Structure 1
Amino acid sequence: MIVKRIHLKDTYGIRKKVLGIENVESSYLFEGDTESGTFHLGAFIENNLVSVASFYFNRNSKFNIDNQYQLQGMATLEDFRKQGLSRELLNVAFPIIKQNFCNLVWCNARVEAAPFYQKLGFEISGDEFDVENIGKHILMYREIN
């Protein structure tokens, strides 16, 4: 398995299959996808892209830290889950984020994914909330030292 930066368009196929509804463009295009501070990572097994994550220079006002990155669109193809791919995407992302003078990453995690993020040092902030047509989420964050 190898993790490397990918182009935004490379995320579309996995985002559509895992996160969104087929043929609904907004389900796999996110605000900020093309901003200069945004970067996208992909995990490859045998030269096949099987997992993606996107990171946005985006401040959440709930945190009293100026420079923040938001994780969004983390998705792994079903046959490749539970193999540590998402963990490796984050392990590659954290130093990149730190190089950009940011020391906080936050995300709106699906409630069922919260234990995964907690194992990686993320903490819960606030109460669960509903994302229309997707389900229950929770705001999570991790400071990067």
Structure 2
Amino acid sequence: MWPNQSIEFIKLEKDAEGSHLGLFVGEHLTSIISLFQTQEGVQFRKFATLTEAQGKGYGTQLLTEVFKRYSNGSVSRIWCNARVEKAKYYERFGLQRTNKTYRKGGIAFVVMEKLFCS
């Protein structure tokens, strides 16, 4: 998502506390996602697919796996900070836009969430 930024720009303070998943196509790491569990549920961040592999369903496979892992009632909420232009993609997974928005690096974001009944 930030190919022209330094690794310091991409790092998160709590990266060591997260779970980091990757999807390989052959020997090539193609899609990644980082998961951070808190009392509020699970937030996914750093969800990205190589530019040349986008549109082939790899990110969808990875995100589907995330929802399978957490749709068993182990968390009450899954959320992300979505680029506004990609919100419709996340709606396909049942996430809904909240009224929380912000800008980073000139990009508009909206917090999206999916609530699970417990």
Q: What's the TM-score, normalizing by structure 2?
A: 0.85
- The one-letter code matched in structure 1 to 2:29 is L
Alpha-carbon contact 1:67-1:101 (below 8 Å) kept: no
The structure whose residues are more often strand, as a share, is 2
Could you tell me how far apart the structure 1 residues matched to 2:93 and 2:68 are? 14
- The one-letter code matched in structure 1 to 2:89 is F
Q: RMSD of aligned C-alpha atoms? A: 2.1
Paired residue for 1:95, among 44, 68, 78? 68
Which residues of structure 2 form unaligned runs of 5+?
Answer: none
- The one-letter code matched in structure 1 to 2:11 is L
Alpha-carbon contact 1:87-1:120 (below 8 Å) kept: no
Match of residue 34 from structure 2: 54
Q: Structure 1's 33 and 98: CA in aligned 2 closer, same or farther, altered over 3 A?
A: farther
Which residues of structure 1 form unaligned runs of 5+?
Answer: 1-17, 59-65
Alpha-carbon contact 2:73-2:116 (below 8 Å) kept: no
| Structure 1 residue 140 corresponds to structure 2 residue 112 | yes
| Structure 1 residue 41 corresponds to structure 2 residue 24 | no
- The one-letter code matched in structure 2 to 1:139 is V
Q: Structure 1's 104 and 87: CA in aligned 2 closer, same or farther, altered over 3 A?
A: same
Q: What whole-Å deviation, never above 9, does each CA across 1:48-101 have from its counterpart, x for those lacking one?
A: 11110001013xxxxxxx440011000111110011112111111123335682
Give the percent of matched residue pairs that are identical in Structure 1 and Structure 2. Answer: 25
| Structure 1 residue 21 corresponds to structure 2 residue 4 | yes
Could you tell me how far apart the structure 2 residues matched to 1:139 and 1:57 are? 16
Query: How far 1:20 sits from its partner (Å)?
Result: 4.7
